[in-house]
Amino acid sequence: MSEVIMPALGMAQDTGKLVKWLKAPGDSVATGDLLFEVETDKSVMEVEAQADGFLTHVSASDGDDVPVGKTIAMISATADNAVATPVTKVEPEQAPTPETMPTVVAMSSTPSTAAALEGGRILASPKARRLAAEDGLDLGQLVATGTAMPYHVSDLKTLRDLPASSAQTVVMAATKQITARCKQAGSRDFMDWMKADGAITVTPTAMFTSFASSAWRVATEAPTIVVQLSDPDGEDTYLRNADFTRLSVPAPETDEDATFVLHDLSASFLTSLRLGDTALPTLSIGADGDSYLITFEFGSDQMSNAQAIAFISGLARRLADPLHHLV
Amino acid sequence: MRQITLSTAVNEAIAEEMRRDETIFLIGEDVAEAGTPFKITAGLVEEFGTDRVIDTPISEPGFMGIAVGAAMTGSRPIVDLMFGDFIFLIMDQLCNQAAKTHYMSGGKLNVPLVLRTNMGATRRSAAQHSQSLHAIVAHIPGLKVAMPSSAYEAKGLLKTAIRDNNPVVIFEDKLMYQDKADVPEEEFLIPFGVANVKREGSDITLVGTSSMVQVAEKAAEILAAEGISAEVIDPRTIVPLDMDTINASVRKTSRCIVIDEGHQSFGVTSEIASRLMEQSFYHLDGPVIRMGAMDVPIPFSPALEDITVPTPEGVAETARKLMAGEMYHV
C-alpha cells in the first residue's frame, strides 16, 4: 500500500489546493497515471501515481485546501475502503488561499517541478538555497533540466542560464514596456526584391520571427530561442531557433517552453496585445501608417533593461534594413 | 631560525618557566634521571634537584591527587602522565577535583595545574597506549585543552599553560617528539583560543588538530596540484575554541573537512562540525565532513593500525568528492 500525499510545490508553501481528482475512489491506477490536479500560489500541476493499484482511502475532495505532506489517499492492492472513513474534511489553513492571490494557471506538458517533487523535496545545499532565494531563483526549474540532485551553488549558473521564463514562472514581478517605431519601406523593398530576383516568397511573419530570434540571441546570448507565435484564431506555434533557418523555409516546430511570445498584428488594426494569460515576455508588431510599431513587455525578473533595449533596438534595425542585417 | 625538536621545545618551556617561578615543580613517573621514555625532561633534575623534579611510583591517581592539592595551596605543578591512555586512572582527580574546585569554592581556590600527556597512533603500541582521548577531557567544563601541532606550538602553548591560573591539559602527539620546527630563541607565548591559518585557500577548509595539521597540509599539497585550493586551519586549543577563525574560513570556502585523531564518534570533529552547522549553515555548499580515527580499538597490527587514522591521501580523496558534490548519503 502506497500513500498519496499533497506535494510541496513551492519553497514556502503550507497548503495546496486540490483542484480536482482525475481518478475516482476505487479506480484502478498505474504508476505514472495522472491522479489529481493541485493549485499552488504559482500554478496548477498534475500529480502522477507512484504505484500500481486501486485509489482508496480518499480523504480530500475537490476544492479542499490540504496541508503539504498530508496523506489524502492510498494506492492499495484492492479496491476496498475506497473512501476514508470517517471522511475527514480538511480544515482550511490560515495561510492566504490561492484564490486571493494572482494566479497563473499553467499546465505544462514538459517534465515539471511537480514530477520531481512528488517524492517530497528538492535536495540542495543550504548555501545554494539561500542564494537562490536571494536572487529569486526557483530551484524547481533545475529539475526539468535533468541536473542531478543535490544542487550546489555551481548549479545555480545552469539555472540562471535557463530561458528567462517557463511554465513555472510566477506572474511577472513588474511589467516593463518598450516601444519602437521603424519604417516599413526597408522590409517591403526586401520582400519585393526576394520575390523579383529569386522568386522567393518571404512572409512578414517569417521575417519578424527570424529577426526577433536573431536580435534576442545577440542581446541575451541565449543558446536556444523558442518563439511562441500567437494565432488568436487557432493554435499557437512554437518555433525553435528561427534565425538559423532560411527565411523561405518554415522554422522547425518544437514542444519546448517558449522564450517569448510574438503577436504579428501588422495586418490588423491592432498595435499591441497582451491578454494577461502569459508570464512570458511579449512582443507585438503592429502597423501604423508606413511604420511598424514594436511593443515589448517583460518582467524585471526576466531580463535586464539593457538586454531588453538591445533586443528591441536590434529588431528595429533589422526591420529597417534587412539586407544590411542579412549580409 | 634555529630548528629544534618538539621534545626539546617542551624541555625548554619547562626549564624556562621553572627558572622564572620557584613555585613550579614537575611530578610523574620517570621524569627525573630517566627523563621519561621520550627523553623529554632529560637534564631538568640536574638543574632543579629532586625537590622540584619528583619521580613517583606507578601510582597515577596518587600523584595526580598530590598535584591537585599542591595547586590549591600555592604551588604550580606540572604533571607528566606517561601515556594519554592513563588518563582514565586519574579522572576523579582531574574532572571532579581540579576542574570544579574554583567553581565550588566560590572563587576562593585556584588550581593552577598543567597536565602534560600524549596521544597518537601508529607507534605500534597497541590499543592501551595509542588512544587520543582529548575529547573526553574537553567535555568537562573547567578544563582547558591545548593540542600543539609542532615544536613551536608545543613551547608557546606550554608556557601559556603554566602561567594560567586554572587547570590545563596538553596533549602532545607522541609520534611528533622528534619532529623539528623553527622555534625562536627569544621568549614567546602563544595565547589560547587563537587559531592559526597555516595555509590560505579558497575552495575548501581543512581544520586539523595536532599531527592532523600536517596531514591536512600534505592533503592541501596534493589538492593544489589538481587545482583545488585548500585552506588549512590549526585551532591550537580546542578549549577555548576559536570559532571566529574557523567560521570566517568556511564562509569563504563553503566546504569543510575536520580532521582529528580521536575516535570519530562523539569527538572533536563532531563538535566543530556541529558548531559550523549552527553558525555557518547558510554558507555551506556541502556537508561538513568528519575524519577521525575509526571507531575501533587501535590495532597492534601495523597494517591495520595505519588505516585506522586519517591520511593525506584519504583527506584529499574526501575533499575531491566534496568538491564534486558526491559526499551525499542517501
* Contact: A128, B283; criterion CB under 8 Å: no
The pLDDT > 70 percentage for chain A reads: 82
- Contact indicator for A213, A222 with CB cutoff of 8 Å: no
pLDDT single digits (tens) A52-108: 888 888 888 888 888 887 888 888 888 777 776 543 444 444 444 333 333 222 333
Whole-number Å distance between alpha carbons of B151 and B158: 11
Whole-number Å distance between alpha carbons of B53 and B33: 9
Phi-psi region of B200 (alpha: psi -120 to 50; beta: other; left: phi over 0): beta
Whole-number Å distance between alpha carbons of B22 and B16: 11
User: Which pLDDT value is given to residue A249?
Assistant: 85
Write out the three cell numbers for A153.
551553488
Residue length of chain B: 330
User: Which pLDDT value is given to residue A42?
Assistant: 65
* Contact: A127, B282; criterion CB under 8 Å: yes
* φ, ψ at A313 (rounded to 5°): -60, -45
- In eight-state DSSP terms, residue A32 is T
- Contact indicator for A98, A16 with CB cutoff of 8 Å: no
Cα A164 to Cα A32, A116, A241, A260: the distances in Å are: 29, 21, 16, 9
Among the listed residues B179, B129, B192, the one whose alpha carbon sits nearest the alpha carbon of residue B152:
B179
Whole-number Å distance between alpha carbons of B252 and B103: 39
DSSP letters along B153-186, please? HHHHHHHHHHH-SS-EEEEEEGGGTT-EEE--SS
Chain A residues inside the 8 Å CB shell of B283 = 126-127, 130
Annotated catalytic, B153?
no
User: Which pLDDT value is given to residue A65?
Assistant: 86
Q: How many CB atoms lie within 10 A of CB A297?
A: 22
Say whether pLDDT at A34 is over 80: yes
The full set of domains in chain B, from first to last, is 3-182 (3.40.50.970), 196-329 (3.40.50.920)
CA distance A10 to chain B (A): 19
* Contact: A126, B283; criterion CB under 8 Å: yes
Nearest to A126 among B284, B325, B328 (CB): B284
CA distance B280 to chain A (A): 9
SS3 A296: strand
User: Which pLDDT value is given to residue A169?
Assistant: 43
Q: With an 8 Å Cβ cutoff, is A127 touching chain B? A: yes
User: Hey, what long-range contacts does A203-208 have (CB within 8 A, 24 or more apart)?
Assistant: A204/A264, A204/A266, A204/A267, A205/A229, A205/A264, A206/A242, A206/A247, A206/A248, A206/A250, A206/A251, A207/A247, A207/A319, A207/A322, A208/A262, A208/A264, A208/A266, A208/A285, A208/A319
Per-10-residue mean pLDDT for chain B, 330 residues long?
97 98 98 93 97 98 98 98 98 98 97 98 94 98 98 98 98 97 98 98 98 98 98 98 98 97 97 97 95 97 96 97 81
User: Which pLDDT value is given to residue A327?
Assistant: 63
Catalytic residue among B17, B60, B153, B261: B60
Chain A residues inside the 8 Å CB shell of B282 = 126-127, 129-130
At position B240, the amino acid (one-letter code) is: P
Chain A residues inside the 8 Å CB shell of B285 = 125-128, 152-153
Residue of B nearest to A129 (CA): B282
Burial environment of residue B294 by CB neighbours within 10 A (0 to 12, 13 to 18, 19 or more):
middle
Nearest to A126 among B282, B325, B328 (CB): B282
Q: Provide the number of CB pairs (under 8 Å) joining chain A to chain B.
A: 27
Q: With an 8 Å Cβ cutoff, is A134 touching chain B? A: no
User: Which pLDDT value is given to residue A99?
Assistant: 36
Write out the three cell numbers for A141.
526549474
Write out the three cell numbers for B329.
548519503
Q: Where are the domains of chain A?
A: 2-81, 126-165, 175-326
Say whether pLDDT at A174 is over 80: no
pLDDT single digits (tens) A219-243: 998 889 999 998 877 788 999 999 9
Block residue for cell numbers 576559536? B242
Work out the pLDDT band at A146, boundaries 50, 70, 90: confident
Chain B residues inside the 8 Å CB shell of A153 = 254, 285
- Contact indicator for A21, A57 with CB cutoff of 8 Å: no
CA distance B254 to chain A (A): 8
- The CATH-assigned architecture of domain A175-326 is 2-Layer Sandwich (3.30)
* Contact: A127, B328; criterion CB under 8 Å: no
The ipTM is 0.80
- The CATH-assigned architecture of domain A2-81 is Beta Barrel (2.40)
Cα A287 to Cα A2, A260, A265, A290, A294: the distances in Å are: 59, 20, 7, 7, 9
Whole-number Å distance between alpha carbons of B121 and B123: 6
Tell me the torsion sign for CA atoms A3, A9, A14, A15: negative
Q: With an 8 Å Cβ cutoff, is A131 touching chain B? A: no
Whole-number Å distance between alpha carbons of B167 and B136: 15
Write out the three cell numbers for A14.
503550507
Mean confidence (pLDDT) of chain A: 79
User: Which pLDDT value is given to residue A133?
Assistant: 87
Question: Does A116 or A303 have the greater pLDDT score?
Answer: A303
Bond from prior residue into A86 cis (ω within 30 degrees of 0): yes
CB-facing half-sphere around the CA of B42: CA atoms within 13 A: 7
* Mean per-residue pLDDT, A122-142: 88
SS3 A162: coil
User: Which pLDDT value is given to residue A98?
Assistant: 36
Q: With an 8 Å Cβ cutoff, is A142 touching chain B? A: no
Tell me the torsion sign for CA atoms A128, A132, A138, A141: negative
Nearest to B284 among A123, A125, A154 (CB): A125
Work out the pLDDT band at A168, boundaries 50, 70, 90: very low
* Contact: B282, A152; criterion CB under 8 Å: no
At position A158, the amino acid (one-letter code) is: T
User: Which pLDDT value is given to residue A114?
Assistant: 38
- Contact indicator for B320, B224 with CB cutoff of 8 Å: no
* φ, ψ at A289 (rounded to 5°): 65, -125
Residue of B nearest to A134 (CA): B282
CA distance B230 to chain A (A): 18
Number of H helices and E strands in chain B, helices first, is 12, 14
Annotated catalytic, B60?
yes
Beta strands in chain A (DSSP E): 2-5, 15-21, 28-29, 34-39, 44-48, 53-56, 65-67, 71-76, 175-183, 226-229, 237-240, 260-265, 282-288, 291-299
Out of A258-262, A265-269, B82-86, B272-276, least confident range: A265-269
